[in-house]
Amino acid sequence: MAIRQIIDFVAIKAACENCRLAALCLPAGLEAPDLKRLEQLVRRPHPLRRGAALFRASDRMHAIYAVRAGSFRTYYLAEDGREKVLGFYLPGELLGFDGLGSGQHRCTADALETASVCELPLAQLQELADRLPSLNHQLYRLMSQEIAHDQEMLLLLSDKNAQERLATFLLNLAQRFGKRGFSAGEFHLSMSRQNIANYLGLTLETVSRTFSQFQREGLLSVERRHVRLLDKRRLSVMAGPGRPASSSTAT
């Protein structure tokens, strides 16, 4: 498979120090010598294909992951089988902290498209963290961001209507894509309407209708999963309070 080969090739070359995502990733804020040590821990497993799980709820946590390519979704399964989508993760973003307290993951992460990660084995990471306060602080910072994201979502879910929710979501994605060197005005949604709806606490019909409405109003153009934001200013007004930014583990 050609794709597999390309990815493996990249994997061999990838190192935190040279990684174009480094600034967004765990290494951010670490000094060169600490970075070297961190780098030695990193594993780069084979890519996952669409739908494959990176980890599952109640799995013993054995690593933190950085998205290298592709994208992920995390969700959480209620006792009665209902799913709740908790977040989406783009390249450079970290996931898997949810287990740091208990040693067990609380949610499942699966790939929305073919995707690959860097893996930081927990045992060695904690050992390193116990000796490097700076790494500890970095981990606190990341968990804090997770909390910040969840609290933004609480505000969104309790106060915002469908338009505000979708606008917030799209601007957030745009901002995160932009930060990664992709276009912030035009992008591909790797998640289905159903996933977006679940994440935003709506039904897929409402998401679909709201997309159509935004398009009629000239705020964006959308065709299946391709979106182009045409009037970010107005979208931003629609999105309402709470920074449109800051979703997921992005800085």
Binding to its own copies by residue 60, rule CB under 8 A? Answer: no
Window of 27-35, 79-87, 122-130, 157-165 that interacts with DNA by CB under 7 A:
157-165
Member of 20, 43, 137, 225 binding DNA (CB under 7 A): 225
Q: Which does 21 bind (CB under 5 to 8 A by kind): its own copies, DNA, none?
A: none
Q: What is the dihedral of CA 11, 17, 21, 22, to 10 degrees?
A: 140
Distances (CA, A) of 162 to 149, 157, 172, 227, 240: 19, 10, 15, 18, 11
Q: What is the DSSP string of 187-206?
A: EE--S-HHHHHHHHTS-HHH
Window of 42-50, 102-110, 139-147, 203-211 that interacts with DNA by CB under 7 A:
203-211
Binding to its own copies by residue 141, rule CB under 8 A? Answer: yes
Under rule CB under 7 A, how many of the chain's residues touch DNA? Answer: 20
Q: How many Cα atoms are found within 13 Å in the side-chain-facing hemisphere of 95? A: 30
Member of 133, 178, 181, 218 binding its own copies (CB under 8 A): 133
53-55 and 108-111 as β-strands: parallel, antiparallel, unpaired? antiparallel
Binding to DNA by residue 128, rule CB under 7 A? Answer: no
Member of 70, 91, 96, 99 binding its own copies (CB under 8 A): 99
Separation between Cα atoms, residue 102 and residue 189, nearest integer Å: 33
Member of 203, 221, 246, 251 binding DNA (CB under 7 A): 203
Window of 16-24, 26-34, 72-80, 180-188 that interacts with its own copies by CB under 8 A:
72-80
Of residues 174-193, those binding DNA (CB under 7 A) = 192-193
Does residue 75 contact residue 107 with C-beta atoms inside 8 Å? yes
- Give residue 116's identity as a one-letter amino acid code: S
Member of 101, 178, 181, 218 binding its own copies (CB under 8 A): 101
Q: Which two tokens stand for residue 247?
A: 């979703």
